[in-house]
Amino acid sequence: MNCTALRAGALCLVLALALPAAAAARDDVYAPLADRYDQLAADAALAGRAPAAFQRARDALVQLKQARRGEREHWAYVAAHRIDAARAAAEAERLGEQEAGLQRENDRLLLAQARREAAQARAELERQRLQTQIRAEEAERARQDAEAARAEGEQAAQAADAARAEAAQAKRLAEAQAKANALARKEAELEAAVGGKKPATPAKTKPKHRNPKSP
């Protein structure tokens, strides 16, 4: 009877020592991972995102909590990876939303840039149109000036032609006059020779027209 009581007491003692130690070992593995998950779930920027990944992490933690000693390492590995994956998935989702916002901003900026370039192109076109118009007006003025100069030159040429013609006419007239004078002189000499008189100096016939330009 005493022996049986001693054995039972020893068994109780062993169990009393072993059970808390096992529980402590379990907590050493489980508690840090549970804390890690709780921190992730409490992160305001990430909580509520990637719900499926969060659920897988919770499931792994439950499995770890209930795992026997031989499976604890396995479930700790799985739980740690599931928690990290949940964090990465939630971060990626948050960045995806940020990317969408930045993309909208990018679209707005590209639109503003395109509008500005279009306005600049229109302004440049208008500037070139004005320059073309100015050049056309200058060319028209130059053409008109050239036309006026050409007409003036033509008139001058015509006047010169007329003057040349008048001069030629006067020259012909003077030649005719000189010829007439020579003939008259010859006629007087002949008359004097026929009459035995000393030939008188032939009277100079007045030219019908005296050209002031003629030499």
Nearest distance, CB of residue 71 and other proteins, angstroms: 8
Nearer to other proteins among residue 97 and residue 189 (C-beta): 97
Q: Does 55 bind other proteins (CB under 8 A)?
A: no
Query: How is residue 43 written in tokens?
Result: 């992160």
Out of 62, 88, 178, 203, point to the residue binding other proteins (CB under 8 A): 88
| Site membership for other proteins, residue 110 (CB under 8 A) | yes
Among 37, 72, 82, 177, binds other proteins (CB under 8 A): 82
74 sits near other proteins (criterion: CB under 8 A) = yes
Tokens at residue 208, please?
Answer: 């019908």
149 binds other proteins (CB under 8 A): no
Kindly tell me which of 110 and 159 has the beta carbon lying closer to other proteins: 110
Interaction between residue 72 and other proteins (CB under 8 A)? no
Min CB(88)–other proteins separation in Å: 4
Q: How many Å apart are CA 69 and CA 79, to the nearest integer?
A: 15
- Per CB under 8 A, residues contacting other proteins are 53, 56, 60, 71, 74, 77-78, 81-82, 84-86, 88-89, 91-92, 95-96, 98-99, 102-103, 105-106, 109-110, 112-113, 116
